[in-house]
Structure 1
Amino acid sequence: MKAKILITPKSFANYKDSVYPDIVCQGYEIIENRLGRTMTGEEIVELASEEVVGIIIGIDPLPAGVLRRCKDLRAVSKYGMGTDNIDLDAARELNIEVQIAAGTNNVSVAEHTIGLLFAAARRIPKNVAEVKLGHWERMMGIELTGKTIGVVGGGQIGREVAIRAKGIGMRVLLYDPFLQADAEAYLTSNGIRRIEQLEELLAQSDAVSLHVPYTPNTKHLINAETINRMKHGAMLINTSRGELVDEEVLYEALLVNRISAAAQDVFSVEPPEIGNKLVGLDNFFLTSHTGAYTKDAVERMATVSTRNLLEMLGRTTERRL
């Protein structure tokens, strides 16, 4: 029997002609997600409990229980950057290699972030909706030039956002207690100021943009206390993970204009329930987790995640010989 590779991301098939031959050439049989949606853990187990040695995973869940039931699994290649849907501790325990597709979607997400920033500053979604209803009323917005943006998270995406914000004339503050060794050169060359305390960044920023992974430590990073630290009337942008924001607290803050607007590409439950009160607010804008969904990024993610998986499987095969 041929060893198999499971591919779960729905958009991956758009580039099958360029990447599938590489997989087949290595002797693997391909199993696709044909459900037209994100798979559940049980659905993954149904396809991958035996003979599947590698998985290219999107946002589908790979908790410890699923990983343990995939008996022949040796490598997981993330189609993207975030790994919060993968139990990394269980993967290490089971000797399953995991690798992300680094550097593939950071530009797309950063551009989407800046787009949401403009949408919030100029109330573009509300204005467009009103015009479509036949209402020709001007809506007051604000300029971004000269304003301060606080970027929370100095990884690849956060850095790209910071550079673009500088390009439109904003003052950029960056908070990340885990900045890598090359950070000082990056900060100096781009005129970005590092802030040591999150509270200080929140207090100085006209807009706050989140670019950190979801972990137990970052859950509800934006909560009643941190919102109270923000400038009155500041804007919040979140293209990272919905769980970073306490949505009940955000709703109350937007309702009284403590925060003037919030724009997100992520939500705690995706899609949100019909009639969700936060989504219904005029000053809350939500896109459908589409930040990384550009032709350019998807093609790069398909290529890199395939290459990563084949390299991992090659290493694990050599170790077993």
Structure 2
Amino acid sequence: MNRILITPRSLTRNPDPALQALVLNGYRLVFSRAGETPDEATLLDLLPGCVGWLAGVEPVSPLVLESAHDLRVISRNGSGSDNLPLEVAERLGIQVLRAAGANARGVAELAIGLMLASLRHVPEQSAALKAGNWQRRPGLEIEGRTLGLIGCGAVGRLVARFALALDARVRVFDPYPDAGFMPEGDFAWAPLEQVLEEADLLSLHCPMPLNGLALLDRPVIGRMRQGCHVVNTARAALVDEEAMLQALESGHVRVYATDVFAVEPPAPSRLLAHSRVIATPHIGGLTAESIRRATVGAVENLQAALRNQPARR
């Protein structure tokens, strides 16, 4: 009854030394298959008998939690919890904790990197050169261009600061704007419509809408500036893939850069194969520093909760 399940891909592939704190406190660590996202069958097999779970981004069904009769705490090694059935966890008395902000810098740096790569056609020109073609395409500089941010939490704030340091204009929509956050430079909070209409670059840093529908659907994409570059390091479902594909083919969206997918790894698709899509395999928080911060935070949360959370009846 002292087992803890470890499922984040980064930790099953290369266990962080921070996990040793759990071992030293008498817990036995159980790992899912190294480097793979565990499916429902795997979780149903591994979770019974576990009192704690250091969880990643794997989708979790209500059945998984209902079958884990000893589970008391789920500790995420990140800030999101969209993959968890939170109402079921609350009903069962399973505490859900997050390592908020731990991977914010890694995700923010990747978002900026994707913006710059899209402006300078880095993926296409690299591929052409490797194929033996000397293809020099003029690009764009970020200075003076408007970056629109949807969501301004830990990641969005860092992206805003980085972009301002590069002399971009930054316009931000957040349903709960923080008037105390006003970094130096050409920065302003703005309504969503204004952000969509003005953004040369649009970057998503928000949770899913409460209705569960895509934020960037066909009508919303239609209101965006012609030739906008869109970056998504937040959640795949924020973007209607068919609408985005149509916008790319019409030229309304110039580049779509994404680090997130509904199913990981993603199946081949027309969107993924599009010449003006830049895709990375969910590496936003996959830096040595982010993994370390997230693991330390998740372990500390897990230990504190297990000390204070009574066994389930």
Q: TM-score, structure 1 length as denominator?
A: 0.92
Question: Secondary structure at the residue paired with 2:170?
Answer: strand
Q: Could you tell me the percent identity over the aligned residues?
A: 35
Give 2:296's aligned amino acid. Answer: T
The within-5 A match list for 1:1-321 is 2-13=1-12, 16=15, 18-49=17-48, 51-179=49-177, 183-187=178-182, 192-195=187-190, 197-217=191-211, 219-274=213-268, 276-317=269-310
Please say if residues 15 and 299 of structure 1, whose CA atoms lie closer than 8 Å, have aligned partners that are also in contact.
no
Number of equivalenced pairs: 312
Question: Secondary structure at the residue paired with 2:107?
Answer: helix
Q: CA deviation at 1:284?
A: 1.0
Unmatched runs of 5 consecutive residues or more in structure 2: none
Question: Secondary structure at the residue paired with 2:29?
Answer: strand
Q: CA deviation at 1:224?
A: 1.0
In 2, Cα distance between the equivalents of 1:65 and 1:192? 46
Give 1:315's aligned amino acid. Answer: N
In 2, Cα distance between the equivalents of 1:22 and 1:68? 28
Please say if residues 15 and 302 of structure 1, whose CA atoms lie closer than 8 Å, have aligned partners that are also in contact.
no
Give 1:18's aligned amino acid. Answer: P
Give 1:198's aligned amino acid. Answer: L
Aligned CA RMSD, in angstroms, stands at 1.7
Q: TM-score, structure 2 length as denominator?
A: 0.95
Question: Secondary structure at the residue paired with 2:270?
Answer: coil
Please say if residues 151 and 175 of structure 1, whose CA atoms lie closer than 8 Å, have aligned partners that are also in contact.
yes
Deviations 1:15-72 (A, max 9, x none): 64622331122221111113541101221121112x2110000012222221111001
Q: CA deviation at 1:5?
A: 0.6
Give 2:105's aligned amino acid. Answer: V
Please say if residues 77 and 308 of structure 1, whose CA atoms lie closer than 8 Å, have aligned partners that are also in contact.
yes
In 1, Cα distance between the equivalents of 2:183 and 2:111? 23
In 1, Cα distance between the equivalents of 2:260 and 2:5? 26
In 1, Cα distance between the equivalents of 2:224 and 2:306? 47
Assess, with a 3 A threshold, how the Cα gap between structure 1 residues 263 and 187 changes in structure 2: closer, same or farther: same
156-165 or 57-66, larger mean C-alpha shift: 57-66
Unmatched runs of 5 consecutive residues or more in structure 1: none
Question: Secondary structure at the residue paired with 2:256?
Answer: strand
